[in-house]
Amino acid sequence: MKTLGILGPKGTHSEEAALWLKKFLREDFRLEICADIFDVISAVKEKELDAGLVPVENSLEGSINITLDTLARSDTLTITRELVWPVKNFLMTKPLVDVKGVRKIFSHAQPLAQCRKFLRENFPDIEIISTASTARAAELVAESEELCAAICTERAGKLNGLAIAAKNIQDNPNNSTRFFEISYRPRDATPIETFDGDKVLIICQIDGSRAGSLCGVLEEFSKRGVNMTRIESRPARTILGAYIFFFDLETDAGDAALRESIRAVYDKSIWLKNLGVFPVIYA
């Protein structure tokens, strides 16, 4: 049976997304809980897991840097799916707790940022504590003798015996997170020449010391009608001022246009990786 790694413990947004994907795709895979995102990716890279489902970007708070940086440094990973997951954050406490008496709120850094307005308006003076995950926040509230609350998924709260104090507290109702399902791909695998999917992800490093380098790369996509839905830069972790770029490309332009543009960008890059062609699924 296929094994799919996710960020744990049980009750995270990652687990909720994976369970939904399992039901939607009618696939029989076993979920494996990992301590953090890096552990998920590393286990796939070492072939300890068949695949991993990791968050890559939130619509409010931007990129998940550990995911991008780890993918960029790997030569043996490919993206097989993208899932766009609507994020719903709940404020949860022990049963019968008066939420007005809460003195601490626990959650992961991302949900805390996503609920910044709610917290400022309703809990301006209490202590906010960042945790490794939303599920861990629910565990801490369940274990605590103090009056406290967690921002977490409804499932995480219920798994720990908590009750809903407020629902859908994210600042934007359209809050969503993109997840990548990743799997192992040998270094000597056949280069990707056909683009049967919705998107392709390209990562490259260009010579930033030359004026117009990035513009020249973008022109290779533009003049062949290849639409770019996202561009992201990250430090190359070599010398100060060196950057790598992530390009999300739609596949509508066709195989020939994509092959030609990617080869042209390769010629203008210090290095280039194609992390795969994949479908996009909306929950």
CATH code for position 132: 3.40.190.10
Residues 127 and 226 in one domain: no
Q: Which long-range contacts (CB under 8 A, 24 or more apart) does 125-131 make?
A: 126/102, 127/103, 128/104, 129/104, 129/105, 130/106, 131/106, 131/107
In a domain, 282, yes or no: no
pLDDT (0 to 100) of residue 209:
65
pLDDT (0 to 100) of residue 30:
92
- Angle between helical axes of 255-267 and 213-222 (0-180°, round to 10): 170
pLDDT (0 to 100) of residue 195:
83
pLDDT (0 to 100) of residue 231:
93
Residues 65 and 180 in one domain: yes
Q: H or E element: which one contains 120?
A: helix 116-122
Instruction: Give the whole-angstrom CA distance, residue 178 versus residue 83.
Output: 6
pLDDT (0 to 100) of residue 237:
74
Listed residues 133, 166, 199: the one ending a domain: 166
pLDDT (0 to 100) of residue 100:
87
In a domain, 283, yes or no: no
Residues 49 and 182 in one domain: yes
Q: Which long-range contacts (CB under 8 A, 24 or more apart) does 96-102 make?
A: 96/163, 97/147, 97/149, 97/163, 97/165, 99/149, 99/165, 99/166, 101/147, 102/126, 102/147, 102/148, 102/149
Which residues span the domain enclosing 217? 190-277
Residues 154 and 209 in one domain: no
In a domain, 1, yes or no: yes
In a domain, 41, yes or no: yes
Residues 222 and 251 in one domain: yes
Residues 96 and 147 in one domain: yes
Residues 34 and 105 in one domain: no
pLDDT (0 to 100) of residue 87:
87
In a domain, 145, yes or no: yes
Low-confidence ranges of the chain (pLDDT < 70): 208-209, 241
- Total structural domains within the chain: 3
CB of 170 within 8 A of CB of 110?
A: no
CB of 255 within 8 A of CB of 277?
A: no
In a domain, 62, yes or no: yes
In a domain, 202, yes or no: yes
